Amino acid sequence: MDKSIYFIKNEDLLNLVEKLYADYQVFVPFLKDSSSLKKDYCYQRFKPGLSWVLNPYRVTEPLKTFFTYPREELSGYFCPDKRILNVEQKTIVLGVKACDIAAHRIQDFVFIEGVQEDALYRLRRENTLLVSSDCTDYKDVCFCLAMDVLPYPQKLFDLNLSSLNEGYLVEIGSPRAGQILEDNQSYFTPAKDTQIAARKSKRDIFVDKLKNHIIPQNMPRIDKLQDLIRKGFSLDTWSHFMLTCVECGGCNLICDTCHCFLLWDEKGKTNNLRLRQWDACQYANFSRVAGGANPLKNRTQRLRNRFIKKFDFFIDNLGIPACCGCGRCIEVCPGKIDIREVLKDLAKKV
Weakest-pLDDT range from 32-46, 301-315, 319-333: 32-46
R_g over Cα of the chain = 22
How far, in Å, CA of 152 to CA of 207, rounded?
9
Secondary structure letter of residue 234 according to DSSP = T
Interval 124-148 mean pLDDT: 97
Q: Are residues 96 and 213 in the same domain?
A: yes
Phi, psi of 65 (to 5 degrees): -65, -15
The answer to whether the beta carbons of residues 170 and 181 sit under 8 Å apart is: yes
Interval 49-72 mean pLDDT: 94
Q: Are residues 201 and 345 in the same domain?
A: no
Domain finish residue from 217, 244, 275 = 217
Interval 130-136 mean pLDDT: 98
Residue 37 — very low, low, confident or very high, per pLDDT cuts 50/70/90? low
Q: Are residues 87 and 172 in the same domain?
A: yes
Beta bridge partners of 71: 277
- C-alpha dihedral (157, 94, 118, 80), degrees to nearest 10: -140
Q: Are residues 12 and 135 in the same domain?
A: yes
How far, in Å, CA of 1 to CA of 3, rounded?
6
Domain finish residue from 170, 192, 217 = 217
Tens of pLDDT, residues 257-300: 999 999 988 887 777 888 999 999 999 999 999 888 999 999 99
Q: Are residues 213 and 245 in the same domain?
A: no
How far, in Å, CA of 176 to CA of 20, rounded?
13
Q: Are residues 227 and 156 in the same domain?
A: no
Cα-to-chain-centroid distance, residue 118: 18
What pLDDT shows up at residue 334?
A: 97
Domain that includes residue 139, residue range:
5-217
Q: Are residues 186 and 241 in the same domain?
A: no
Q: Are residues 27 and 155 in the same domain?
A: yes
Domain finish residue from 174, 198, 217 = 217
Residue 2 — very low, low, confident or very high, per pLDDT cuts 50/70/90? very low
Whether residue 146 is predicted with pLDDT greater than 70 in this model: the reply is yes
Cα 320 to Cα 132, 141, 144, 257, 309, distances in angstroms: 21, 21, 13, 11, 11
Q: Are residues 204 and 344 in the same domain?
A: no
**Which DSSP string corresponds to 133-199?**
E--SS--TT--GGGGT--SS--SS-SEEEEEETTEEEEEE-SHHHHHHHHHTGGG-EEPPHHHHHHH
Q: Are residues 194 and 260 in the same domain?
A: no
Beta bridge partners of 26: 92
Sequence-ordered list of residues with C-beta below 8 angstroms from that of 195, at least 6 positions apart, any chain:
7, 164, 169
Tens of pLDDT, residues 192-236: 999 999 999 999 999 999 999 999 999 999 999 999 999 999 999
